[in-house]
Amino acid sequence: GAVVSQHPSRVICKSGTSVKIECRSLDFQATTMFWYRQFPKKSLMLMATSNEGSKATYEQGVEKDKFLINHASLTLSTLTVTSAHPEDSSFYICSARPTSGRSYNEQFFGPGTRLTVL
Amino acid sequence: AQTVTQSQPEMSVQEAETVTLSCTYDTSESNYYLFWYKQPPSRQMILVIRQEAYKQQNATENRFSVNFQKAAKSFSLKISDSQLGDTAMYFCAFLMNRDDKIIFGKGTRLHILP
């Protein structure tokens, strides 16, 4: 149980285009999901907290107009990188926190999406 | 603000040995949660073990155990009988309450040598 998927796992795009990354909780509902960015050999950096049915909360320094987050249902959150540039190339990880149940204090992580912007 | 410090950027041990990863944190709160996450080369984050601050007993999961010293704000992870599959990045993490965000340490890269 408590599986989180991400799609795509890997994406290459041209500079200036937009890319959408999906995060799904497969066997539980998640009112809250989190989006992280991870540089090579570094820790996870929280970008934003996504809440179902409301606007995302962005961390300081993260451009909300560049990294659009939509949490349309209790099992799906999307991150859209708009007008991507090479410096946006990174590994993006989502996590989901169960709405209820024994593991409600935990976050379950997706496998990540590697974005490469040419 | 809460902080998590992992003072060992990288460690290497021989297979079957026991290894301890250090973690200290800073908080003024009395109730919180602590976690160790493993990130293998696949980069999938895996929860290794968790500890609730109100519990005095140290958490144990098979070969993994923690030494939780609340007064010292220390939360070390001990891996017994280490295996090649334990090679990974290990992150210590702090969560004040379920509505808060997880705070991660910078990680310790662990190499298990054959």
A15: tokens are 């500079």
Count of CB pairs separated by less than 8 Å, A with B? 41
CA A31/CA A26 separation, integer angstroms: 13
Can you tell me whether residue A116 is helix, strand or coil? strand
Contact between chains at B106 and A106 (C-beta distance less than 8 A): no
Q: How far is A65 from chain B (nearest CA, A)?
A: 22
Evaluate whether B6 touches B106 at the Cβ level (below 8 Å): yes
- Among candidates B45, B46, B109 on the partner chain, residue whose Cβ is nearest the Cβ of A93: B45
Contact between chains at A104 and B45 (C-beta distance less than 8 A): no
Structural domains in chain B plus CATH codes: 3-113 (2.60.40.10)
DSSP state letter for A4:
E
User: Distance of alpha carbon B17 from its chain centroid, rounded?
Assistant: 18
- pLDDT single digits (tens) A31-81: 899 999 999 889 999 999 999 888 999 999 999 999 999 998 999 999 999
Instruction: Mark which residues 51-80 of A lie under 8 Å from B by CB.
Output: none
Evaluate whether B58 touches B67 at the Cβ level (below 8 Å): yes
Average pLDDT, chain A: 93
Over residues B25-46, the mean pLDDT reads: 93
In this structure, which amino acid lies at residue A114?
Answer: R
Q: Which residue of A has its CA nearest to B92?
A: A43
Using pLDDT thresholds of 50, 70 and 90, give the confidence band for residue A103: low
Evaluate whether A19 touches A13 at the Cβ level (below 8 Å): yes
Q: How many CB atoms lie within 10 A of CB B10?
A: 11
